[in-house]
Amino acid sequence: MGKYIGFIEEYGNEGHYLMCFYERSVIEVSSTVMLNHVKSSRGSSVTSFFVIAFLLLYALNCFLLSLCLSKKIKKTLKNIVEGMERVKVGEEQVHLDFKAEWEFKQIQDSFNAMIQKLEVQKQEKIRMEKQKNQMFLELSHDINTPISTIKSYATALESGLVSEDKKDAYYHIIDLKAGRVSELAKNMFSMLKMDNPDYELQLKKCDMCEVLRKICGEYYEEINEKGFEFIIEIPEKLCYVIMDEKLFSRAIANLFINAIKYNKTGKKIMLSMKKKEKGIWIDVIDDGELLDRELRTTLFDAFTRGDKARKSDGGIGLGLYIVKVIVEKHDGVVEYQSTEEGNCFQISMGNNSSI
């Protein structure tokens, strides 16, 4: 039988069987398993039970998962809403701190960042309000003093209480005090104008050397009358810059006024300009007493008064602040340097705006 393989199959309905034998060399054998579906009431019941049980377990799982997520989300949203309500009623320093999924963690971080930013803005607003109040106090004092002097001197002249040989001196003092009031008004106007976000520079192509020569010419006589030697070092070569000529001239004028007002021990005031590859440098130098180190860090802040370092009656401290704002509007930088020559206020401007 090793050479043969046999098959047997029921034949007919009378219990007869048919047997066949083939040589193994002429036939290929493969196995096939046939499962007949047994239809029985018991099998059907078992299948239905498992299907129903699966569906019930799946529904229960979905319900429990939804309940858990709903509870978790409601708790997180409740914390966020409570934080917003605390902010709404005016509470300060509100900070959310709860455990949550990544999405809610982002909301928490954004909320805390917003609160921190609002607090910074609030503190800045308080600082600006104090600064404004201080400005009005200083302005009131500085305007009232020369006006009182003008009024008293004018009254004396009008009443004939001043002798003829002293009248010129009285008129001179009135003129000086009126000039002081005018200077205060100009500085205040410049500050308010430039702090306005709608203010735009009147830019045009200008020769910086010529602009500096003009402003030096305007102050040459005044500087000499005060007894100072006025040294001017400006290159002959043209140096074109896109700038607001009138506004930038105001910055240089303020530096001259500062030097004239506070140079009590020196004899020189100098303006020099240098052009280099990276831009231009403008120095306004006086050889007076060096500024106090403590004052240098706040020198260009509004309402910083020179009398802290120079023993002068000063102003309301807007001159150098205005210089800083004007220079920054021209994409430049102004800084104070203590040099061998004295107090140096240096303006540096990049050549990105030069032609």
Q: Has residue 44 been placed in a domain?
A: no
pLDDT of residue 50: 78
307 confidence band (pLDDT: 50, 70, 90): very low
Domain shared by 214 and 320, yes or no: yes
Domain boundary among 167, 195, 223: 195
Q: What single letter denotes the amino acid at residue 245? A: E
CA distances from 79 to 71, 105, 175 (A): 12, 12, 68
**Residue owning tokens 């260009």:** 300
pLDDT of residue 179: 82
pLDDT of residue 13: 65
CATH at residue 185: 1.10.287.130
Q: Choose between 143 and 347: higher pLDDT.
A: 347
274-306 tens-digit pLDDT: 988 778 999 999 998 888 887 777 788 766 654
Domain shared by 167 and 208, yes or no: no
pLDDT of residue 72: 65
pLDDT of residue 335: 93
Domain shared by 348 and 214, yes or no: yes
Domain shared by 268 and 214, yes or no: yes
Domain shared by 212 and 324, yes or no: yes
**Cα 210 off chain centre by:** 35
Torsion of CA 202, 208, 210, 216, to 10 degrees: 90
Domain shared by 276 and 316, yes or no: yes
Domain shared by 144 and 262, yes or no: no
Q: What single letter denotes the amino acid at residue 225? A: E
CA–CA gap between residue 296 and residue 164 (Å, rounded)? 47
Low-confidence winner among 54-68, 267-281, 318-332 (lowest mean pLDDT): 54-68
CA–CA gap between residue 83 and residue 248 (Å, rounded)? 50
pLDDT of residue 139: 67
Quickly count: other Cβ atoms within 10 Å of residue 119's Cβ: 13
Domain shared by 243 and 125, yes or no: no
Q: Choose between 173 and 108: higher pLDDT.
A: 173
| Tally of structural domains, the chain | 2
155-213 tens-digit pLDDT: 988 888 888 888 888 888 888 888 878 877 777 777 777 777 777 888 999 999 999 99
CA–CA gap between residue 351 and residue 355 (Å, rounded)? 8
- Taking 60 as the threshold, does the pLDDT of residue 1 lie above it? no
Q: Has residue 186 been placed in a domain?
A: yes
pLDDT of residue 109: 78
Domain shared by 170 and 280, yes or no: no
pLDDT of residue 355: 46
Domain shared by 161 and 299, yes or no: no
- Taking 50 as the threshold, does the pLDDT of residue 38 lie above it? no
Give me the mean pLDDT over the 107-124 stretch. 80
Q: Choose between 180 and 336: higher pLDDT.
A: 336
Domain shared by 212 and 125, yes or no: no
Q: What percent of the chain has pLDDT over 90?
A: 20
Domain boundary among 175, 195, 215: 195
39 confidence band (pLDDT: 50, 70, 90): very low
Q: What single letter denotes the amino acid at residue 56? A: L
CA distances from 343 to 188, 298, 299 (A): 25, 15, 12
| Residue 267 structural domain | 204-353
Q: Has residue 63 been placed in a domain?
A: no
Q: Has residue 88 been placed in a domain?
A: no
Q: Has residue 294 been placed in a domain?
A: yes
- Taking 50 as the threshold, does the pLDDT of residue 314 lie above it? no
CATH at residue 243: 3.30.565.10
CA–CA gap between residue 277 and residue 181 (Å, rounded)? 42
Q: Has residue 185 been placed in a domain?
A: yes
pLDDT of residue 100: 64
101 confidence band (pLDDT: 50, 70, 90): low
- Taking 90 as the threshold, does the pLDDT of residue 332 lie above it? yes
- Taking 90 as the threshold, does the pLDDT of residue 8 lie above it? no
Give me the mean pLDDT over the 134-155 stretch. 79
CA–CA gap between residue 29 and residue 12 (Å, rounded)? 25
Domain shared by 243 and 332, yes or no: yes
Nearest to 208 by CA among 178, 170, 252: 252
Q: Which residues partner with 327 through β-bridges?
A: none
Torsion of CA 199, 201, 202, 208, to 10 degrees: 160
SS (H, E, C) the chain: CCCEEEEEEEECCCCEEEEEEEEHHHCCCCCCCCCCCCCCHHHHHHHHHHHHHHHHHHHHHHHHHHHHHHHHHHHHHHHHHHHHHHHHCCCCCCCCCCCCCHHHHHHHHHHHHHHHHHHHHHHHHHHHHHHHHHHHHHHHHHHHHHHHHHHHHHHHHHCCCCCHHHHHHHHHHHHHHHHHHHHHHHHHHHHHHHHCCCCCCCCEEEEHHHHHHHHHHHHHHHHHHCCCEEEEECCCCCCEEEECHHHHHHHHHHHHHHHHHHCCCCCEEEEEEEEECCEEEEEEEECCCCCCHHHHCCCCCCCCCCHHHHCCCCCCCCHHHHHHHHHHHCCEEEEEEEECCEEEEEEEEEHHHEC
Domain boundary among 147, 163, 195: 195
235-271 tens-digit pLDDT: 999 999 999 998 899 899 989 988 988 888 889 999 9
Q: What percent of the chain has pLDDT over 70?
A: 79
pTM of the model: 0.56
Q: Has residue 43 been placed in a domain?
A: no
Q: Has residue 97 been placed in a domain?
A: no
313 confidence band (pLDDT: 50, 70, 90): very low
69 confidence band (pLDDT: 50, 70, 90): low
